[in-house]
Chains A and B, each alone.
Chain A
Amino acid sequence: ETGVTQTPRHLVMGMTNKKSLKCEQHLGHNAMYWYKQSAKKPLELMFVYSLEERVENNSVPSRFSPECPNSSHLFLHLHTLQPEDSALYLCASSQYLGNSPLHFGNGTRLTVT
């Protein structure tokens, strides 16, 4: 149990589907993150939320839409994805400031067909 739970673990979707990834943390952290991990590429930061406000958005295509309703929950809404969006999507949480580490979930393996 990592303290950060992601669902689903695996997701296969067509390019016209709409789906959502969910992340929940029980660590009392005030910041949450979405990362994308593709084969043979460095880890890519997508979004950062601090106290439910988006503080970082790294030029992510609009087909990815994050939502942070409270400090414990983070969603990534997906629509009209492309095959190159297939990857492992990792959620993490931390205290936004200070020197504490990020805590990661086990990720959602997304395959776009």
Chain B
Amino acid sequence: AQSVTQLDSHVSVSEGTPVLLRCNYSSSYSPSLFWYVQHPNKGLQLLLKYTSAATLVKGINGFEAEFKKSETSFHLTKPSAHMSDAAEYFCVVRWSSGGYQKVTFGTGTKLQVIP
């Protein structure tokens, strides 16, 4: 079985301060992990992906995430928040095996950026 837990439903940071959005996963197989961002009334946009290459993954808009197998975590970070980062963020785990695939979404974290 596989699951994704986003530990915070809401995170609030001041503009210019670091962002940390937490994600833990469980998977019986070697998973691929993704972070998506969703602005209001828009679809989900891919921020970054981990697919068993480098454990530190850089994405768009200055975001990065580190895959830590020992902690089963894939936290999303950004050194300095910008007002335009205010959105909802989803952590996603995907695996495929034996002609079958499964995609599981976290419940989302809403990021508020305070001026």
What is the interface of chain A, defined by CB distance below 8 A to chain B?
2, 4, 6, 42-43, 45, 88, 90, 92, 96-99, 101-107, 109
Contacts and interface: CB of A to CB of B under 8 A. Distances in A.
Size band of the B side of the interface? Answer: 20 to 34
Given A90-B44, A106-B43, A107-B41, A101 B34 contact: yes
Interface of B: 32, 34, 36, 41-46, 49, 51-52, 90, 92, 94, 96, 99, 101, 103, 105-108
Contact of A107 (B32, B43, B49, B107): B43
Nearest to A42: B107
A97 B96 contact: yes
Q: B interface, by DSSP: helix, strand, loop or mixed?
A: strand
B43 A2 contact: yes
B90 A99 contact: no
